Chains A and B, each alone.
Chain A
């Protein structure tokens, strides 16, 4: 600011102050510079300062010159300027271009050398140009002519230079003292100025503040005044209002009070009046009442006096009466004492009599008890004995079954023992395939019988799942047989044992169907190692064996065996049952037989059913003792039971009907119905008859069976069990079936019949009839009807023709033979037939017609025991659990829900149903 403040001299005020000077003006300025040069240097006293000024003027001149040099080389320039001047100018412009380029590429620092060189060149050239043009004024003029307009940069530069010159001049002209003086003065002034200005400023601020405070104060006061005024006005108004209200209120209240008091007064007055009236009335009333009461009191007092008087009189009378009665009482008492003495004597006598009576009774009871006990014991012993007896019979049956297996077992053993001849050169395993029947439980007896054979070592394989286990099992079973301890997994051990004992080992697979096929194939490969190991497979059908792989199959040498048909065994058992003392009635036998045929084919089950019947017969029949015990040891009550038997009843009925005319037999019936001892003896006779009946019945049945076995056709043949069932059902001798059998029998030849009758006579107990008829049969030769055709027939057709021919011939021969003996034989044949027919009718009577058959025949209902219906039972139990238990079972609810909604049952439903049921029960 100090610089600015320096005033310029007159000369320095140049037209060049205007920035965009025209070239003309600059030219003028240049002229002026050259004119002023002298003046500047003249006024300067000091030599050094003059010199400085001269240098500056020189610079100005040269700069001016440089500014004239044209920048662009156009035609005009080249024509005006010649020779050296043009060359110099060209070079200058060229260098200038170069410099510009370098400057543009400035970023590369490595070019600093270039820059230096170029600037150096430019410096040299500028110097030469200046020298040249200052020497040649012509050219200078030409330049001036050429350069009509300068570039603004150069003009500015020239102007600045001019400024510098004037400044330097001023500086050089003034001395040091002046300078200092000026400086001091100036600083003083400045300081003064600063001080005053700050003071003014502070004062002004103060003033401002004060003004503000004042106006604020005034405003405040005004506000307060105004507010107070308003308040005052409000208070005045309020006061007026309240006074007015109070006045009106009090006035109203006053009025009201006055009014009320007046009313009250009136009412009270009225009340006083009425009360006064009432009081008067009451007083009158009370006085009257008082008078009445006084009268009453007087009256009662009088009465009381009267009563007391009367009481005294009565008391006197009563006293007199009591005196009379006491006299009477004393008299009667003495009489009573006398009577009591007599009674005591009589009482004593009575007690003695009673005692005697009781003693007698006790004795009697004891005797009865002992008798009953003895009876019961006897019955029990009988029952137990019978149970034992029958069980023994059953055991016999079991033996029969096993005996039946005997044949097949023998065959199998032979096969297994001998079959190893084939083994000489090929590895083969002898395998017996046993066709066991349908029912598994029956086979155990077969296997146990088979395993009794001491020639073999047996290993029975069931429920095994791996080869390892199988080998272990074989090992164990074999060593158990030899009473060794072994449970090895090593098959080598088996072979060792085999070699040690020299016995054949038989591996039994009882249930082939349950055995894993893969396992079996591996087992076969294992067993094939030794020649003395055999396999026995039990299977239902041979088809199952074929599901083995061919490789396993063709290393087996198989032979199929069939164990005894279960129906055959059943026939044998039927024979045993027929021989038993205990007889099955039609219904139980049919139920058991049906159960066998229809559902199970199990002999084991058949046996168990019969056992069951036996039990229920032995332990459920109180009359059993009749057959064994004597009269005294038999319970007398049971005779009533005898009389209630249906067969006894019908017998009595029949007797009464048939013998009503004959008077003699009536007492017998009467005796039967009344006399126990007589009945007992009668029953004994009947029992004996019953035994005889069953014996004859059985032999007749056997005869019948034998007769059937002679028939050539199968159509009329029936197995013994069916025959027995039929005979139990009705009288077999009367049926059409029996008649047709006899017709067929008639066609047999006489010798056959004779032999048959001879055989029969051995069976039958009463042989006389048979022997008689046999004696009547003449000895006849057997006729050989079989014509053997020994010729070999090649053609089938021819064979058939021949067969037909031969059969017709046979028939004609038969007819012939019959016709030969017609007369005699017909007679004898019809005689035989009638005999047999009578025999059958007589002996094959149905048991229900025999008296007292209930003693021997068991006819109870065994359906439920034999035919179990587990499914139905479980279903009913689930549906109606109350039939079995008392409480509710949630399983039953679940089952009901299952029936309703199928497989998926909501747990919530179940719970809810259960809750409802529980509630229901609680309420009940």
Chain B
């Protein structure tokens, strides 16, 4: 008996599935079980075969979910109550077991924190809930993301400016460079009706332009060497290969660049054109 999980992945290789479907005709002792997220008729887009014996698995009910999650922490204090709380809050968004487990493991220490610190007793569930609500909200925002800690970004001084310059280059239209980066540049703002670059995402541009912006915003004596390739390796910049020249675009978000520019006390909003905080 063979089990194939995630057969929707199989469609990459078109010959494999027909082979499996026909296998029992040659070797009747082999039995095959497929596991898939998709229904058979959705899979049949690719495979025109008669429906095999299908067994549907229902999603877990609330109690079942609690039971499963309880396996992680039978001996923990107030764990059942806590798990129920988490499931109730999050079940409308996701019922993914792995995600729930992850959340529980991360949030539980925070839940019992007041008890350990003596700010509340184990029986004061409403008080615990109020204290816990804040953490729950943060967890909601980061659902399916794995950033719970907000550490400082450690980059060399000039590299930070390089990154800021690349961000400006990616999101500012090049026709406005004159306005932003020259001392006596025109101050008149011409409203343009084209779509916002912010919505379109970063735009690729020349390294020459990057350096020009960099020198302009740095306003210091010019240092020797810039490690653009390291930034590319870290995927903070993305290089776009044109057949003639080498272009780059910025791959970091507004929040990231805000932290970076704050750390070098540079007011990036002054230089951004048509940009609003989301």
Query: Chain A residues near B149 (CB, 8 Å)?
Result: 542, 560
**Which residues in chain B, 192-247, are within 8 Å of chain A measured between CB atoms?**
223-227, 230, 233-236, 244-245
Contacting residues of chain B (96-124) with chain A, CB-CB under 8 angstroms: 96-99, 101-102, 105, 118-120
Q: Is B158 an interface residue (CB 8 A)?
A: yes
Decide yes or no: A554 and B234 within 8 Å by CB, A599-B223, A601-B154 being known contacts: no
Q: Which residues of A contact B244 (CB under 8 A)?
A: 903
Docked Cα-Cα span, A439 to B227, in Å, equals 10
Which residues on the A side are within 8 Å of B6 (C-beta)?
Answer: 525
Most buried by A among B98, B120, B147, B157: B98
Q: How far is the CA of A225 from the CA of B262 in the complex (A)?
A: 138
Residue B155 at the A interface, CB < 8 A?
yes
The 8 A CB mask of A539-557 against B (1 = contact, 0 = none) is 0111111100010011111
Q: Does A585 contact B (CB under 8 A)?
A: no
Contact A553 B144 (CB under 8 A): yes
> Total interface residues on B, using CB and 8 Å?
45
**Docked pose: A828 CA to B72 CA in angstroms:** 61
- Of A425, A565, A596, A600, which one neighbours B227 at CB under 8 angstroms? A600
A513 at the interface (CB under 8 A from B): yes
Produce 1/0 per residue, B146-171, CB < 8 A to A.
Answer: 11110101111111000000000000
The reply to whether A553 and B146 contact each other, CB–CB distance below 8 Å, is yes
A425 partner residues in chain B, CB cutoff 8 A: 68, 71
Inside 8 A of B158's CB, which chain A residues have their CB? 598-599
Known contacts A437-B154, A438-B159, A554-B96; decide if A546 and B233 are in contact (CB<8 Å). Answer: no
A153 / chain B contacts, CB cutoff of 8 Å = none
Residue B145 CB within 8 A of the other chain: yes
A422 within 8 A of B: yes
How far apart sit A438 and B130, CA to CA, in the bound complex (Å)? 40
A511 touches B (CB below 8 Å): yes
For residue B231, which residue of chain A has the nearest CB? Answer: A438
Instruction: Mark the stretch among A610-618, A723-731, A863-871 that contacts chain B.
Output: A863-871
Q: A422-B105, A513-B235, A514-B233 are in contact. Are A867 and B256 (CB under 8 A)?
A: no
Q: Are A542 and B234 in contact (CB under 8 A)?
A: no
Choice from B102, B155, B159 contacting A554 with Cβ under 8 Å: B102
Q: Which residues of chain B have C-beta atoms less than 8 A from A792's C-beta?
A: 119-120, 127
Interface string of A502-525 (1 = CB under 8 A from B): 000000000101100000000001
Q: Which of A284-298 contact B (CB under 8 A)?
A: none
Residues of A within 8 A of B71 (CB): 424-425
- Render A853-878 as a binary contact track against B, CB cut-off 8 A, 1 for contact: 00000000000000111111000000
Residue A435 CB within 8 A of the other chain: yes
In the complex, are the beta carbons of A554 and B225 less than 8 A apart? no
Min C-beta distance of B117 to chain A, whole Å: 10
Contacts of B256 in A (CB 8 A): 541, 543
| Contact between chains at A545 and B146 (CB < 8 Å) | yes
Q: Is A566 in the interface zone, CB < 8 Å from B?
A: yes
Smallest distance from the beta carbon of B145 to chain A beta carbons, Å? 5
* Residues in chain A near residue B230, CB distance under 8 A: 438-440
| B227 adjacent to A599 (CB under 8 Å) | yes
A852 interface residue (CB < 8 Å to B): no
B144 touches A550 (CB 8 A): yes
Q: Mark B134-148, 1 if CB is under 8 A from A, else 0.
A: 000000000011111
Chain B residues whose C-beta falls within 8 Å of the C-beta of A567 in the assembled complex = 154
Contact: A540 with B234, CB < 8 Å? yes
Pairwise interchain contact B151-A867, C-beta atoms closer than 8 A: no
In the complex, what residues of A have CB within 8 A of residue B245's CB? 903
B224 touches A872 (CB 8 A): yes
Residues on B with beta carbons closer than 8 Å to the beta carbon of A525: 6
Closest B residue, CB atoms, query A557: B102
Residue contact A598 to B156, C-beta cutoff 8 Å: yes
Quick one: which of B151, B156, B236 has the most chain A CB within 10 A? B156
Determine the residue in chain A with the shortest Cβ distance to B149: A560
Question: B residues within 8 A CB of A438?
Answer: 154-156, 159, 230, 234
CA distance A871 to B225 in the complex (A): 7
Bound form: Cα–Cα A541–B145 in Å: 13
Taking the nearest CB of chain A, how far is it from the CB of B64, in angstroms?
Answer: 13
- Cα A557 to Cα B245 in complex, Å, equals 42
B101 and A599 contacting across the interface, CB-CB below 8 Å: no
- CB contacts (< 8 Å) of A514 on chain B: these are 233, 235
The digit string for B3-47, where 1 denotes a CB below 8 A from any CB of A, is 000100000000000000000000000000000000000000000
A102 CA to B184 CA in the complex, in Å?
121
B235: which A residues are within 8 A, CB to CB?
Answer: 513-514, 540, 544
By a CB distance below 8 angstroms, the chain A residues around B145 are 546, 553
Per the bound structure, the CA–CA distance linking A438 and B253 in Å amounts to 18
Determine whether the beta carbon of B98 is less than 8 Å from that of A541. no
Contact B225 A868 (CB under 8 A): yes
Please tell me if the beta carbons of B101 and A511 are within 8 angstroms of each other in the complex.
no
Is A562 at the interface (CB under 8 A from chain B)? yes
- With a cutoff of 8 Å between Cβ atoms, the chain B residues found around residue A542 in the complex are 146-147, 149, 151
Q: Kindly list chain A residues whose C-beta atoms are within 8 Å of the C-beta of B156.
A: 438, 596-601
B residues near A790, Cβ cutoff 8 Å: 118
Min Cβ gap B227→A in Å is 7
Determine if B102 and A599 form an interchain contact, defined as CB atoms under 8 angstroms apart: no
Q: Are A868 and B224 closer than 8 Å at their CB atoms?
A: yes
B37 nearest CB neighbor, chain A only: A551
Distance between Cα atoms of A599 and B98 in the complex (Å): 42
Q: Which residues of A contact B127 (CB under 8 A)?
A: 792
A732 at interface, CB cutoff 8 A = no
Assembled-state Cα–Cα distance A598/B235 (Å) = 20
What is the CB-to-nearest-CB distance from A557 to chain B, in angstroms, rounded to a whole number?
7
Q: How far is the CB of B188 from chain A (nearest CB, A)?
A: 31
B105 and A554 contacting across the interface, CB-CB below 8 Å:
no
CB-defined contacts of A794 to chain B, threshold 8 Å? 130
| Residue numbers in A under 8 Å from B119 (CB-CB) | 792
Given contacts A546-B147, A601-B154, contact A867 B96 (CB under 8 A): no
Verify A435–B151 contact, CB threshold 8 A. yes
**Which B44-99 residues have C-beta < 8 A from chain A?**
68, 71-72, 96-99
Which residues of A have CB within 8 Å of B151?
Answer: 435, 542, 562
Smallest Cβ-Cβ distance to A421: which chain B residue: B72
Chain B residues closer than 8 Å to A601, beta-carbon distance? 154-156, 159
B226 to chain A, nearest CB (A): 7
Q: Tell me whether A426 and B101 are in contact (CB under 8 A).
A: yes
Q: How far is the CB of A571 from chain B (nearest CB, A)?
A: 14
- A596 to B225 alpha-carbon distance, docked (Å): 12
Using CB atoms, name the residue of chain A closest to B144.
Answer: A550
Residues of B within 8 A of A426 (CB): 97-98, 101
In the complex, the answer to whether A869 meets B234 with C-beta atoms within 8 Å is no
Contacts of B227 in A (CB 8 A): 599-600
Closest to A793 in B: B119
Chain B hits for A140, CB < 8 A: none
A701 within 8 A of B: no
What is the CB-to-nearest-CB distance from A844 to chain B, in angstroms, rounded to a whole number?
Answer: 27
A112 to chain B, nearest CB (A): 81
Interface contact A566-B233, CB-CB below 8 Å: no
Is A558 located at the chain interface by the 8 A CB criterion?
A: yes
B144 with A422: CB separation less than 8 A = no
- A437 cross-chain contacts in B, Cβ below 8 A: 154
When A and B form their complex, which 5 residue pairs have the shortest distance between CB atoms, in order from nearest?
A554-B98, A869-B224, A867-B224, A513-B235, A550-B144
Give A contacts to B, CB under 8 Å: 422, 424-426, 428, 433, 435, 437-440, 511, 513-514, 525, 540-546, 550, 553-558, 560, 562, 565-567, 596-601, 790, 792, 794, 867-872, 903
Pairs across A and B, CB under 8 Å, 27 listed? A422-B72, A513-B234, A513-B235, A540-B235, A542-B149, A542-B151, A543-B147, A544-B235, A546-B146, A550-B96, A554-B96, A554-B98, A555-B98, A560-B149, A597-B157, A599-B157, A599-B158, A600-B156, A600-B227, A601-B154, A601-B156, A601-B159, A792-B119, A794-B130, A867-B224, A869-B224, A870-B225
Known pairs A428-B101, A433-B146, A554-B96 / 13 extra A-B pairs, C-beta < 8 Å: A438-B155, A514-B233, A543-B253, A544-B235, A553-B146, A554-B98, A554-B102, A555-B98, A560-B146, A597-B157, A599-B157, A867-B223, A868-B225
